[in-house]
């Protein structure tokens, strides 16, 4: 009985571990961006560049500066791409927050935010 229970615990902890590593490494995610996450820059960017850890479909991209919505040239892409460049037009200065969603190769919808500020 004891042995069976130990096997049971080993099996379930193995399952939990693989579920955790799937969570950590399975999803598509932002790998790099320009401007970088959390950065403080002196000049307003013309574009926001996003680089992902694999091909993703960018399905939503909303930008606010100090809480005010800023229009971009974003349009949802039919085919997955590893990187995107979004033109952010006349965005002014302040706290930028890009709120975007991607769908990766595993079909999961992942929501991310990118914050930076322009002085």
* Other C-beta atoms lying within 10 Å of the C-beta of residue 6: 10
> Which residue from 106, 109, 111, 113 is in contact with Cu ion, where contact means CB under 5 A?
106
3-state secondary structure (DSSP) of residue 57: strand
Shortest CB 86 distance to Cu ion, Å: 23
CA distance 79 to 101: 15
Question: Which of positions 20-39 make contact with Cu ion (CB under 5 A)?
Answer: 26-27
Shortest CB 65 distance to Cu ion, Å: 30
Question: Which of positions 74-103 make contact with Cu ion (CB under 5 A)?
Answer: none
3-state secondary structure (DSSP) of residue 10: helix
- Helix segments in 1-119, DSSP class H: 2-26
- Does the protein bind Cu ion through residue 66 (CB under 5 A)? no
Shortest CB 62 distance to Cu ion, Å: 22
Return the structure tokens found at 97: 């927050």
Q: Which residues bind Cu ion (CB under 5 A)?
A: 26-27, 106, 108
């Amino acid at each position: 009985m004891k042995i069976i229970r130990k096997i049971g615990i080993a099996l379930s902890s193995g399952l939990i571990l693989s579920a955790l590593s799937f969570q950590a490494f399975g999803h598509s995610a932002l790998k790099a961006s320009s401007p970088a996450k959390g950065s403080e820059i002196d000049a307003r960017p013309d574009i926001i560049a996003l680089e992902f850890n694999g091909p993703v479909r960018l399905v939503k991209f909303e930008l606010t500066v100090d809480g005010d919505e800023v229009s971009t040239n974003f349009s949802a892409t039919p085919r997955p791409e590893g990187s995107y460049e979004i033109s952010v037009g006349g965005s002014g200065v302040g706290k930028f927050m890009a709120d975007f969603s991607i769908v990766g190769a595993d079909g999961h919808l992942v929501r991310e935010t990118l914050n930076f500020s322009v002085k």
